């Protein structure tokens, strides 16, 4: 696996470079960020390093992902995008790139969270509609987007389990005096300290509650999952794939 890493100087970039050093048969052929660093081997020109790569891993910013995906598609390089908070421009780029290369867009590359997502889908499908669904997430004080991309993905999985979309079920702003609406999916956000990532999906019924949780204590889990997904993409036909396919989860649930 020949990897180009975008966002190489960031928190995830550092974790992925560390994981790459012990990943079998993987080589970092380009480390890209906004500013060069001779000491860390980081450069700024993505187009210059893509010809040597067979997969691009992007943990940068929503503003840069659209352009990076277009460049990867032009060079026939598979893409694993971990960047969250992607807007309409990036999603259009995902659509266009998926015609040319295999790619995965994963708000959370942890294999544990991939499992959580499928468990949530199954629970939402199995439990009666009068179980209220609430998603509680916590992250470090520097995180910019809220709710987290993972919380939104969990919300989509819960809504899908009920045959709905998150757009039609996501609760609005709860400040003020309005009561909970039946069937809505609520989100609560905690930001502070160095929390790596915590997600709980609560199914609250009358007289019982089911909570499905995941706690990340080390960014290395996202890095290892990203590398597993990146290597899984190699040799696949163009198209958009899911993390659940990387671990074959859809086969068992």
Q: Does the protein bind ligand NAD through residue 79 (CB under 6 A)?
A: no
Per-residue contact string for residues 212-241; x = within reach of ligand NAD by CB under 6 A: ----------x-------------------
Q: Does the protein bind ligand NAD through residue 108 (CB under 6 A)?
A: yes
- In the three-class reduction of DSSP (H, G, I as helix; E, B as strand; rest coil), residue 44 is classed as coil
Detail the DSSP E strand segments found in 21-150. Answer: 27-32, 42-43, 55-58, 78-81, 102-105, 132-139
The tokens for 127 are 């439990």
Alpha carbon 193 to its chain centroid, in Å, reads 21
Q: Quick check: 33 and 241 in contact, CB under 8 A?
A: no
- Gap between the Cα atoms of 8 and 158, Å rounded: 33
Q: Which is nearer to ligand NAD, 6 or 131 (CB)?
A: 6
Q: Which is nearer to ligand NAD, 42 or 136 (CB)?
A: 42
Per-residue contact string for residues 115-154; x = within reach of ligand NAD by CB under 6 A: ----------------------------------------
Q: Does the protein bind ligand NAD through residue 32 (CB under 6 A)?
A: yes
Q: Does the protein bind ligand NAD through residue 33 (CB under 6 A)?
A: yes
Instruction: Identify the residue among 11, 162, 191, 236 touching ligand NAD (CB under 6 A).
Output: 11
Detail the DSSP E strand segments found in the chain. Answer: 2-6, 27-32, 42-43, 55-58, 78-81, 102-105, 132-139, 185-191, 197-204, 209-216, 239-241
- Gap between the Cα atoms of 217 and 136, Å rounded: 17
Q: What angle do CA 49, 55, 56 make, to 5 degrees?
A: 65
Residue pointed to by tokens 């995902």: 94
Q: Does the protein bind ligand NAD through residue 112 (CB under 6 A)?
A: no
- Gap between the Cα atoms of 120 and 252, Å rounded: 14
Q: Does the protein bind ligand NAD through residue 10 (CB under 6 A)?
A: yes
Q: Which is nearer to ligand NAD, 54 or 60 (CB)?
A: 60
Q: Does the protein bind ligand NAD through residue 109 (CB under 6 A)?
A: yes
Q: Which is nearer to ligand NAD, 32 or 77 (CB)?
A: 32
Per-residue contact string for residues 46-75; x = within reach of ligand NAD by CB under 6 A: -------------xxx--x-----------
Q: Which is nearer to ligand NAD, 169 or 200 (CB)?
A: 200
> Contact residues for ligand NAD (CB under 6 A)?
6-7, 9-13, 32-34, 59-61, 64, 82-85, 106-110, 222
């Amino acid at each position: 696996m020949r990897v180009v890493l975008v966002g190489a100087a960031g928190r995830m970039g550092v974790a992925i470079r560390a994981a790459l050093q012990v990943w079998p048969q993987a080589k970092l052929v380009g480390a890209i960020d906004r500013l060069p660093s001779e000491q860390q081997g980081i450069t700024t020109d993505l187009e210059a390093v893509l010809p040597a790569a067979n997969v691009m891993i992007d943990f940068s910013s929503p503003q840069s992902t659209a352009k990076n995906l277009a460049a990867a598609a032009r060079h026939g390089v598979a893409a694993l995008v971990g960047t969250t908070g992607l807007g309409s421009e990036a999603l259009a780029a995902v659509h266009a790139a998926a015609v040319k290369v295999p790619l995965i867009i994963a708000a959370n590359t942890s294999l544990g969270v991939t499992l959580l997502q499928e468990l949530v889908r199954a629970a939402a499908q199995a439990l009666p509609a009068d179980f209220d669904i609430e998603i509680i997430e916590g992250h470090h004080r520097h995180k910019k987007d809220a709710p987290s991309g993972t919380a939104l993905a969990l919300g989509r999985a819960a809504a899908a389990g009920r045959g709905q979309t998150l757009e039609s079920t996501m609760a609005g702003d709860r400040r003020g005096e309005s009561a909970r609406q039946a069937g809505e999916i609520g989100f609560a956000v905690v930001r502070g300290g160095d929390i790596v990532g915590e997600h709980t999906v609560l199914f609250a019924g009358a007289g019982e509650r089911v909570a499905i949780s995941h706690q990340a204590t080390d960014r290395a889990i996202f890095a290892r999952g990203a590398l597993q997904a990146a290597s899984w993409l190699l040799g696949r036909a163009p198209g958009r794939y899911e993390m659940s396919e990387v671990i074959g989860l859809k086969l068992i649930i």
